[in-house]
Amino acid sequence: MTTTLQNRDLAAVMARLDAMDARLSAIVARQEKTDELFAEMTPILRDVMATATAKLDGLEKKGWFAFGRELAGVAERVVEGFDPREVHELGDAVVSILRTVRALTQPRVLEVAADASEVIENGENAAPLGLIGMVRATSDEDVQKGMAVIMEIMRHVGRAAKAVQAERGARDPMAARKEKLAAALGPRRKRSEAPPATVGKAPVAAACGGVSRGADEPLVDPKAWTKEAAAEIAASLGVPLDGARWAVIDFARSEFETTGTSPNIRRLTQGTKLATKDIYALFPKAPARTVARIAGIPKPAGCI
């Protein structure tokens, strides 16, 4: 009986050993295949790395990486100087510019431009044309068509000028009131009176809290700033002043007094420990520029 049990145990052990031997053989075979693969791929990988290194070195020598760094700097200045709405408008403007360029580079338009350039280049050969000659020339169908095109262009230019003027007036709600006030006071001014005070080229346009303010809104003298003036400017901009907004304004003034530079949006977030979205929540439209106007300091560099 004991001998039978020993034989069974021995047979079980031998079976396990056979299974382990089979597994080890499979692992060894797999490792050999892996080693063969690495041996075959190593020269290829070396060639790939050498090619990639050469390509990257060529790009570096051509200035692609330097260009990328400068482009990132431009993007950073755009982020600091413009709010998302202005960037969106800039994108729309770029699309419009590209469409205009595409229209101007159509073969027919380029052909007309080339003909006009040739006429200008040979202008000294053109015979002088008097008033009567001009009248006679208007009977030519091509001249009539050209005059019609020129008049249509002038009509569009005039319409665009009106739109620009209206947009400027919309940006400055006080513009119409200032014009009415200037029209009312202009004729009454005596010749002996001195012209309005100026700082550089910017005439004084108004006063807030008894403090003179320039035509482009910042105070003429930042040292003359008062909280009453700030409250009046904020009210004209539709910005309610509370504790959080006063903290941002006080930091902006402190930064300007310390460095002589008005803080941009990034510096405002760093100095006040507020997130960019929080700054935009407090001052939705052009935060850095709005804070500077209320704080009575010049607008930050990069703001328009």
Q: State the catalytic residues.
A: 303
Output the CA–CA distances (angstroms, integers) from residue 254 to 123, 219, 224, 291, in the order listed.
Answer: 63, 16, 14, 12
Cα gap 156→146, rounded to integer Å? 15
Cα gap 225→230, rounded to integer Å? 7
Q: Name the pairing type of β-strands 202-208 and 211-214.
A: antiparallel
For Cα atoms 100, 103, 109, give the angle at the middle one, nearest 5 degrees.
130
Exposed (0-12), middle (13-18) or buried (19+): which is 172, by Cβ within 10 Å? middle
Which of 243, 281, 283 has the alpha carbon at shortest distance from 263?
A: 283
Cα gap 46→155, rounded to integer Å? 67
Q: How many CA atoms does the CB half-sphere of 142 hold within 13 Å?
A: 0
